[in-house]
């Protein structure tokens, strides 16, 4: 598993290193190097405020690269606290269409069933039949049970069914897949709030985890999405997907710096093993070498 984040950062690292040769190789005027670094960080979607924080006074440092790495390490928020053993662990996944919610749920379900756990997945994106079918495939692949109703049914009712089932069977987890259509933003947020309320009535403390899934290829757009969700729903952590296809891996820093939310997992590909726990050190070092 070690190295998957670094591998996922390949495109970002290549983009950064094109601009950073001076800094890494030495021998250039330091003001020029800082200018290059600023540009490289912006191109990697680190965002202006975070970039400015990282480079401030850097040209006076004897070993700018080490200082930069230390500064980045200080930006990552503390990790998620350990699950408290609640059973079922009710975990809701939110985010706009196409970011990778369903895929992430499938990968995580497979991880859990692979270690002997039992659980259900709730198909609460009831808007499209295709969404339910896609989840069905992941449920089969992982051996988790799918709780679904017909297309167009009330997502909160599906969530309630799923949580009740997980509770009565003493299952370990209940994953809730949600819709992400943005053109009816207001309704989507209300729908998410209703799901949250309903599962909280069925299981004490639920939802225990609400992950906002963001697509790394969308860069700063992801940050804008996050602000919208955070304004209307409770989010406990972030999942950053498609790092493998992105040269904008700096977005993780921008998000961590502004939102102060931990990143729990990183998606680095489409198959089941391509979801890895976030590792701040590997991520930081993987940006440069
Ligand atoms: N390369 C890559 N593709 C991903 C990753 N996660 C999801 N995808 C792909 O992104 C597309 C949309 O994912 P999906 O789970 O349906 O998104 P949802 O609409 O949020 O549920 C699918 O084709 C997935 O295979 C990832 O980490 N890397
Ligand atoms: Mg989906």
Q: Is the pTM of this model over 0.75?
A: yes
Which of 274, 257, 258 has its CA nearest to residue 266? 274
Instruction: Report in angstroms the alpha-carbon separations of 74 from 54, 61, 78, 280.
Output: 10, 17, 10, 10
Of all protein residues, whose CA lies closest to atom 1 belonging to ligand 1?
269
Q: How far apart are CA 203 and CA 284, in angstroms?
A: 38
For residue range 33-71, list pLDDT tens digits in order: 888 899 999 999 999 999 999 999 998 888 888 999 999
Q: What's the pLDDT band for 273 if we cut at 50, 70, 90?
A: very high
Residue 190 has pLDDT above 60, yes or no: yes
Tens digit of each residue's pLDDT (9 = 90 or more) over 102-125? 999 999 999 999 999 999 999 999
Judge whether residue 185 has pLDDT over 50: yes
What's the gap in Å between 132 CA and the centre of ligand 2?
8
**Structure tokens of 174?**
């209940």
Q: What is the pLDDT of residue 23?
A: 62
pLDDT in tens, 118-150: 999 999 999 888 999 999 999 999 999 999 999
Is the pLDDT at 26 greater than 60? The verdict is no
pLDDT for the residue numbered 31: 78
Q: Looking at the CA of 218, name the nearest ligand.
A: 1
Q: What percent of the chain has pLDDT over 70?
A: 95
Whether the per-residue pLDDT at 91 is higher than 90: the answer is yes
Cis peptide before 88 (omega within 30 of 0): yes
Q: What is the mean pLDDT of residues 213-236?
A: 94
Residue 121, token pair as written in the block: 């997945």
pLDDT at residue number 128: 83
pLDDT value at residue 27: 56
Q: Is 87 in the pocket of ligand 1 (CB under 6 A)?
A: no
pLDDT on residue 1? 47
pLDDT the model gives residue 62: 87
Cα(126) to centroid(ligand 1), Å: 18
Ligand 1 lined by 107 (C-beta under 6 Å): no
């Amino acid at each position: 598993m070690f190295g998957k984040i670094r591998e996922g950062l390949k495109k970002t690292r290549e983009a950064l290193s094109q601009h950073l040769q001076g800094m890494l190789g030495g021998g250039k005027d330091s003001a020029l190097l800082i200018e290059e670094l600023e540009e490289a960080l912006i191109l990697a979607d680190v965002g202006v405020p975070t970039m400015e924080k990282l480079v401030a006074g850097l040209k006076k440092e004897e070993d700018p690269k080490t200082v930069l790495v230390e500064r980045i390490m200080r930006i990552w928020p503390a990790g998620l606290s350990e699950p408290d053993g609640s059973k079922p662990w009710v975990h809701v996944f939110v985010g706009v269409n196409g970011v990778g919610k369903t895929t992430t749920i499938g990968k995580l379900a497979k991880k859990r069933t692979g270690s002997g756990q039992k659980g259900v997945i709730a198909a609460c994106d009831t808007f499209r039949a295709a969404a339910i079918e896609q989840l069905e495939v992941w449920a089969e692949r992982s051996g988790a049970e799918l709780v679904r109703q017909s297309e167009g049914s009330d997502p909160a009712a599906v969530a309630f069914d799923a949580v009740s089932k997980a509770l009565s069977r003493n299952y370990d987890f209940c994953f809730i897949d949600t819709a992400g259509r943005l053109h009816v933003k207001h309704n989507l947020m209300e729908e998410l709030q209703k799901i949250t309320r309903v599962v909280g009535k069925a299981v004490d403390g639920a939802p225990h985890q609400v992950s906002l899934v963001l697509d790394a290829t969308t860069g700063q757009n992801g940050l804008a999405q996050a602000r919208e969700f955070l304004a209307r729903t409770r989010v406990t952590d972030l999942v950053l997907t498609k790092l493998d296809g992105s040269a904008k891996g700096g977005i993780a820093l921008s998000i961590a710096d502004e939102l102060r939310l931990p990143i729990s997992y990183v998606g680095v590909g489409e198959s089941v093993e391509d979801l890895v726990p976030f590792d701040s050190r590997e991520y930081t070092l993987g940006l440069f070498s």
